[in-house]
Amino acid sequence: MSISAMNRRWLVRTALIFLLVSAACIAATNIYALFGHGVRSASMDTMFLYPLLMGAAPWLLLAALFPMMGRRRLFRPAFNLYNSGIAALTTGAMLNGILEIAGTASAYQPLFMAAGWIFVFIGFILFLIPDSGGRTDRKAKNP
């Protein structure tokens, strides 16, 4: 199997995981509404959009247009920061919804969401940094 096919498969697998997370968010929202006596929150109703629109859609697009993206030097840190930001935003939306339904608030909630957006932004910026022409992490030759 070629390297291009392996990279494409890896990106598609990441997108499928985000689709599953989106489905789990929808299920969690509906189950929480059942036990919350039908009380719903806009934050929880829309939390599935973070992994769907910011997770699955971009990774499927990258797999289709740039299958060799995974071989770039800064791909892994960018990937980790970006996905951590999506996780923080999704979790923050759930926590915000739970706090709204409970009728309380937390001073840390805006910081949580800000951290998620900062991670997404830094990860996106790292994706935009051009590669130096190839991988530079080759093993050193033994003398």
Residue 14 lies in a domain: yes
Residue 59 lies in a domain: yes
Query: 37 — alpha (psi -120 to 50), left (phi > 0) or beta?
Result: left
Structural domain containing residue 54: 3-128
% of the chain residues with pLDDT over 90? 53
Residue 140 lies in a domain: no
Q: What is the mean pLDDT of the chain?
A: 87
Residue among 84, 83, 110 nearest 95 (CA): 110
Q: How many domains does the chain have?
A: 1
Residue 143 lies in a domain: no
Residue 137 lies in a domain: no
**pLDDT value for 2:** 59
pLDDT at 143 over 80: no
Q: Which residues of 80-97 are buried (b: 16+ CB within 10 A; e: fewer)?
A: ebbbbbbbbbbebbbbbb
pLDDT band of 22, cuts 50, 70, 90: very high
Residue among 92, 94, 87 nearest 51 (CA): 87
Residue 134 lies in a domain: no
DSSP assignment of 62-115 equals: HHHH-TTGGGSTTHHHHHHHHHHHHHHHHHHHHHHHHHHHHT---TTHHHHHHH
pLDDT band of 135, cuts 50, 70, 90: low
